[in-house]
């Protein structure tokens, strides 16, 4: 399971990149989506790699993000009680474990919004014009994306 966070805006970008970000449901900076590891999504990520940060999320950080930033329709916070009543999972952390292992998806919980609106990272981005390997904030983080997500909780 990959997590994709939009880091840069789309002013003065090619139409193909804007369309791909729209298909990924990334409409604003600091928005985050969870996508499965399929070849189609890998090609989409490759196309927008200069505008997003992405990597493989672990279940502990995903549970923290869902607790703090998970929203239901009507902008209601996601709670353990709602997860227990409307799914087969006992709480948010077990739901996050199932998502990371591929047993569940965000759509399994009715009313949960697919886009997580994150806070800008504490201490800021390093540079939004360089890749992560060059010391910036763009591109493939691998498992290090969990540190960025924790700062954006």
Name the nearest CA neighbour of 56 among 30, 25, 38, 35.
35
**Structural domains in the chain (count):** 1
Q: Give the mean pLDDT of the chain.
A: 94
The helix/strand/coil state of 65 is: helix
pLDDT at res. 82: 95
pLDDT band at 124 (very low <50, low <70, confident <90, very high): very high
pLDDT tens digits, one per residue of 83-114: 999 999 999 999 999 999 989 999 999 999 99
Q: In what order do the strands lie in the sheet with 31-35?
A: 116-117, 31-35, 2-6, 52-56, 139-142
Q: How far is CA 112 from CA 15, 41, 97, 136, in A?
A: 29, 21, 17, 32
Structure tokens at 20: 């791909």
Q: Are 147 and 17 in contact (CB under 8 A)?
A: no
Average pLDDT over residues 53-67: 95
E strands, the chain, are 2-6, 31-35, 52-56, 71-72, 76-77, 116-117, 139-142
Q: How far apart are CA 83 and CA 86, in angstroms?
A: 5
pLDDT at res. 119: 95
Q: Which domain, by its residues, includes 1?
A: 1-153
Average pLDDT over residues 5-27: 96
pLDDT at res. 17: 96
pLDDT at res. 122: 94
Phi first, then psi, for residue 66 (nearest 5°) are -65, -35
pLDDT band at 128 (very low <50, low <70, confident <90, very high): very high
CATH number of the domain enclosing 100: 3.30.1390.20
pLDDT at res. 43: 96
Average pLDDT over residues 39-52: 96
């Amino acid at each position: 399971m990959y997590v994709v966070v939009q880091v840069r805006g789309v002013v003065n970008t090619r139409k193909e990149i804007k369309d791909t970000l729209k298909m990924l449901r990334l409409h604003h900076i600091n928005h985050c989506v969870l996508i499965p590891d399929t070849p189609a999504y890998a090609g989409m990520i490759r196309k927008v790699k200069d505008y997003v940060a992405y990597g493989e999320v672990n279940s502990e950080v995903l549970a923290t993000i869902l607790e703090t930033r998970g929203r239901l329709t009507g902008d209601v916070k996601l709670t353990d009680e709602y997860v227990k009543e409307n799914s087969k999972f006992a709480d948010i952390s077990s739901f996050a474990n199932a998502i990371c292992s591929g047993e569940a998806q965000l759509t399994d919980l009715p009313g949960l919004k697919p886009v997580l609106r994150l806070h800008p990272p504490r201490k800021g981005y390093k540079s939004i014009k360089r890749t992560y390997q060059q010391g910036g904030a763009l591109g493939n983080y691998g498992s290090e994306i969990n540190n960025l997500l924790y700062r954006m909780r």
